Amino acid sequence: MVLWRMKGGNTMRSLADRRGEHTAETCYSGTSMSMDTEVIRRQFPFLTARGSPCAYLDSAATAQKPQSVIDAMRQQEEMHTANVHRGMYPLAEEATAIYEAARQSVQSFLGAQAPQEIIFTKNCTEAVNLVAKSWGKANLRKGDAVVLSPLEHHSAIVPWMQLAEHSEITLAWVNMDASCAYTVESLRTTLDTVQAKLVCITGQSNVVGVRPPLKESIEVAHNAGALVLVDAAQLCVHHPVNVRELGCDFLAFSGHKLYGPTGIGVLYGRRELLEGMSPFLTGGSMIREVTRKGFSSAELPQKFEAGTPPITQAVGLAAAIKWLGQYPWGEIEAHERTLIETTFAGLQSIPRLRILGSDDPGAISGCMSFVVEGVHPHDLTAILGDQGFCLRGGHHCAQPLHEHLGVPASTRISFGMYNTIAEVQAFLPALEKAIHLLSKS
């Protein structure tokens, strides 16, 4: 039975329970089908709507959306628009049921124990900030440490830096070599030197594509008395995630990297931790009662969802999860492995080009980055963009990692399920030509 707390504090049974509609199953389940890249590409209108050839190689920044996600969001706007957790009229109850079914879909996707452990945010960045501002401020004391690594996205670094500026906590960094390998031994060494209360660890680098050994790292952190926050923004779209199997305490990801819409992210937190945390934002919806003397917070998950939530975006995220759930993870990973290996081999053959991070393509997932001697990534990506190749140049919100690698910026190529070997084979000679052109200028 799905329960939620109405704005005025009344608990009611969901419309989905009473009518058998908009359940988690309708959002997530689907018949598993073999992965045919051409069939998949036909489901993404962006690939043909612009009228000119486009090789979209920037899915690590944001993924394109399949038609089913676009349709689900349009249907929500056209047929089900009402605010949630407020009105008692049928349309409002229906909107609430759909919104809560989307939460159940995310719960199933992550393997969480209860829907109350799923908090909708506006993105992954806000999810991490929620932990820093709510759990961090209340639980970190003088001398405590938050453990990070150079692999982390700025979103998983800066909130803790800001907290450290206004408290007496410290930040400790896990050591890595040039291959960017995150090892359990390095983590253990760091934990032995500080009073760690939290380890913030990426599930997959957004620059060099390596994956830390999550489960083992979480066990080591817990043995040292630290909680673990996983930044899964890059992981969830390339590899299955089950929070209970991992044993993590918090996990964050964003919808738009999962073939869903922008404007929505997710924070998973163990229920007992979330129940002990104060609200991150305050206002409407997150309260049980307000008087002239003060207020009391609503129950989970509403106490962390102040104001009108991203309703249509939640519907789009659920549709993306349902779409992704049609395809076996093994086939998704095999397809993307072929793209990585083909790209890696091609890049290795280009003079003056250095692939950052691991020299083993088997250790890379989703994306890879490179530098070319004497050529700035911005110039390179601008020329390639004019030829229809969309990829990113810059520091990718990961300046500590670039500092670790001894370069200010890089060019990144990243993949989604819609990418093909033909695109890679067209990209590689175009890249060589662009490098040659820039080397002469």
- Going residue by residue through the chain, which has 441 residues, state the pLDDT in tens, using 9 for 90 and above: 233 333 333 333 333 343 334 444 434 444 557 789 999 999 999 999 888 889 999 999 999 999 999 999 999 999 999 999 999 999 999 999 999 999 999 999 999 999 999 999 999 999 999 999 999 999 999 999 999 999 999 999 999 999 999 899 999 999 999 999 999 999 999 999 999 999 999 999 999 999 999 999 999 999 999 999 999 999 999 999 999 999 999 999 999 999 999 999 999 999 999 999 999 999 999 999 999 999 999 999 999 999 999 999 999 999 999 999 999 999 999 999 999 999 999 999 999 999 999 999 999 999 999 999 999 999 999 999 999 999 999 999 999 999 999 999 999 999 999 999 999 999 999 999 999 999 976
- Residue 41 domain-assigned? no
- Residue 8 domain-assigned? no
Boundary (domain end) residue, out of 277, 292, 324: 324
Residues 320 and 334 occupy one common structural domain: no
Q: What is the pLDDT of residue 35?
A: 86
Q: Which domain, by its residues, includes 413?
A: 329-435
Boundary (domain end) residue, out of 300, 324, 348: 324
Q: What is the pLDDT of residue 34?
A: 76
- Residue 49 domain-assigned? no
CATH code of the domain containing 387: 3.90.1150.10
Residues 289 and 391 occupy one common structural domain: no
What's the rounded Cα separation, in Å, for the pair 176 and 199?
16
Nearest alpha-carbon partner for 47 in 347, 420, 318, 332 = 420
Residues 174 and 214 occupy one common structural domain: yes
- Residue 115 domain-assigned? yes
Residues 112 and 258 occupy one common structural domain: yes
- Residue 54 domain-assigned? no
- Residue 415: phi and psi, rounded to 5, are -125, 155
- Residue 270 domain-assigned? yes
Dihedral (CA of 68, 72, 74, 79) sign: positive
CATH code of the domain containing 150: 3.40.640.10
Amino acid at the residue 26: T
Residues 210 and 113 occupy one common structural domain: yes
- Residue 432: phi and psi, rounded to 5, are -60, -40
Q: What is the pLDDT of residue 440?
A: 79
Task: Give ∠ CA 335-336-338 in degrees, rounded to 5.
Answer: 70
What's the rounded Cα separation, in Å, for the pair 7 and 86?
6
Residues 236 and 319 occupy one common structural domain: yes
Amino acid at the residue 95: A
- Residue 253 domain-assigned? yes
Residues 295 and 362 occupy one common structural domain: no
Q: Could you tell me whether strands 250-254 and 287-291 are parallel, antiparallel, or unpaired per DSSP bridges?
A: unpaired
Nearest alpha-carbon partner for 114 in 303, 271, 315 = 271
What's the rounded Cα separation, in Å, for the pair 306 and 304?
6
Half-sphere exposure of 98 (CA within 13 A, CB side): 27
Supply the DSSP symbol for 58. B
What's the rounded Cα separation, in Å, for the pair 343 and 300?
45
What's the rounded Cα separation, in Å, for the pair 58 and 41?
16
Residues 137 and 244 occupy one common structural domain: yes
Q: What is the pTM of this model?
A: 0.92
- Residue 81 domain-assigned? no
Nearest alpha-carbon partner for 397 in 223, 150, 33, 177 = 150
Half-sphere exposure of 6 (CA within 13 A, CB side): 14
The answer to whether 389 and 395 are in contact (CB under 8 A) is: no
Q: How far from the centroid of its chain's Cα atoms is residue 47's Cα?
A: 23
Residues 276 and 374 occupy one common structural domain: no
Residues 157 and 306 occupy one common structural domain: yes
Q: What is the pLDDT of residue 441?
A: 63
Supply the DSSP symbol for 381. H
- Is residue 397 annotated as a catalytic residue, yes or no? yes
**Token pair for 6:** 């109405």
Boundary (domain end) residue, out of 297, 324, 351: 324
Residues 383 and 307 occupy one common structural domain: no
Catalytic residue among 54, 124, 180, 397: 397
Burial of 331 (0-12, 13-18, 19+ CB in 10 A): middle
Number of domains in the chain: 2
Supply the DSSP symbol for 364. -
Q: What is the pLDDT of residue 429?
A: 98
Residues 315 and 336 occupy one common structural domain: no
